[in-house]
């Protein structure tokens, strides 16, 4: 029996709005993935350590606060520090178009903006993990 794909959905920083993160988490779960949701106001180190402890294949970071460059960069840095740079990271939320290229340069696999259809996110996550 094949194991389920494991995804950690995280809200980093002081952003207190998690409806989108919960919708993505539920949709991925309904698509057959095992999903761990960290809850609100997580520090980058907490997210990286949770991902390592839970042996996830991918981290999905939801952020609306405008601090995406700093906080997502810190998550990626923490993963590398703990020799877990192979865990893929995707991001979603309110992220300016001009920042997407920079996020990808620091290691984010993909960025999903509001109104991205859930089937597109599910397909991308499935394909990136099983590729």
Contact by Cβ (8 Å): 13, 63: yes
Contact by Cβ (8 Å): 72, 63: yes
Residue 114's SS3 state is coil
Contact by Cβ (8 Å): 27, 118: yes
Give tens-digit pLDDT for 18-66.
Answer: 999 999 999 999 999 999 999 999 999 999 999 999 999 999 999 998 8
Q: Of 59, 77, 74, whose CA–CA distance to 21 is shortest?
A: 59
pTM of the predicted model as reported, rounded to 2 decimal places? 0.96
Contact by Cβ (8 Å): 44, 51: no
Domain 6-130 -> CATH class = alpha beta
Q: Where are the domains of the chain?
A: 6-130
């Amino acid at each position: 029996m094949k194991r389920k794909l494991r995804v950690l959905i995280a809200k980093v920083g002081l952003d207190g709005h998690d409806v989108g993160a919960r919708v993505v988490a539920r949709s991925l779960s309904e698509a057959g993935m095992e999903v761990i949701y960290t809850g609100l106001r997580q520090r980058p180190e907490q997210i990286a350590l949770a991902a390592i402890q839970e042996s996830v294949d991918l981290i999905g970071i939801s952020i609306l606060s405008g601090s995406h460059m700093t906080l997502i960069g810190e998550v990626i840095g923490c993963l590398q520090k703990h020799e877990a740079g192979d865990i893929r990271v995707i991001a979603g939320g309110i992220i300016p178009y001009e920042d997407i290229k920079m996020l990808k340069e620091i290691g984010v696999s993909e960025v999903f903006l509001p109104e991205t259809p859930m089937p597109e996110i599910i397909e991308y996550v499935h394909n990136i993990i099983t590729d």
